[in-house]
């Protein structure tokens, strides 16, 4: 079974630039999450989708972060403009409706210089 796919694996940008991350969840997984993990901390939820609808985006810094899942399958997360404190690993996770187990992608490591 294919896992959660994320790209790119690494990204280095300068502050005030824009960046986008892509995630393709496991086939059939209706729930998709984007997490931010800063070094030494646990993952912090940015946004949760159920199919193509947003379930929870209460911790998403909406002045600079946006995410979409237009067709209820793959998703993109964008940061515009980036700040130094956005340096982190961005993890995408998915799960089926009847299972609480989260499957994570390998993440995108973002460095903002």
Partner 1 sequence: RKEVEQDPGPFNVPEGATVAFNCTYSNSASQSFFWYRQDCRKEPKLLMSVYSSGNEDGRFTAQLNRASQYISLLIRDSKLSDSATYLCVVKRNDYKLSFGAGTTVTVRA
Binding to partner 1 in span 48-107, by CB under 8 A: 56, 91, 100-102, 104-107
CA torsion sign for 81, 18, 107, 109 is negative
Q: How far is the CB of 19 from partner 1 (least distance, A)?
A: 19
With CA atoms as reference, report the closest residue to 25 among 110, 107, 105, 108. Answer: 105
Q: Which is nearer to partner 1, 21 or 35 (CB)?
A: 35
Q: How far is the CB of 56 from partner 1 (least distance, A)?
A: 7
Alpha-carbon gap, residue 23 to 37, rounded angstroms: 16
Q: Which is nearer to partner 1, 81 or 104 (CB)?
A: 104
Note whether 1 binds partner 1 by CB under 8 A: no
Note whether 26 binds partner 1 by CB under 8 A: no
Alpha-carbon gap, residue 110 to 107, rounded angstroms: 9
Per DSSP, 86 falls in state G
β-pair partners for 98: none
Q: How far is the CB of 16 from partner 1 (least distance, A)?
A: 27
Q: Which residues bind partner 1 (CB under 8 A)?
A: 35, 40-45, 56, 91, 100-102, 104-107
């Amino acid at each position: 079974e294919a896992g959660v796919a994320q790209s790119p694996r690494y990204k280095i940008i300068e502050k005030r630039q824009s960046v986008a991350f892509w995630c393709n969840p496991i086939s059939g997984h209706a729930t998709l999450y984007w997490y931010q993990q800063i070094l030494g901390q646990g993952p912090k939820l940015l946004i949760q989708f159920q199919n193509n609808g947003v379930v929870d985006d209460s911790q998403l810094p909406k002045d600079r972060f946006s995410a979409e899942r237009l067709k209820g399958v793959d998703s993109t997360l964008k940061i515009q403009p980036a700040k130094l404190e956005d340096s982190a690993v961005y993890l995408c996770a998915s799960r089926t409706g009847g299972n609480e187990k989260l499957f994570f992608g390998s993440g995108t490591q973002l460095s903002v210089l």
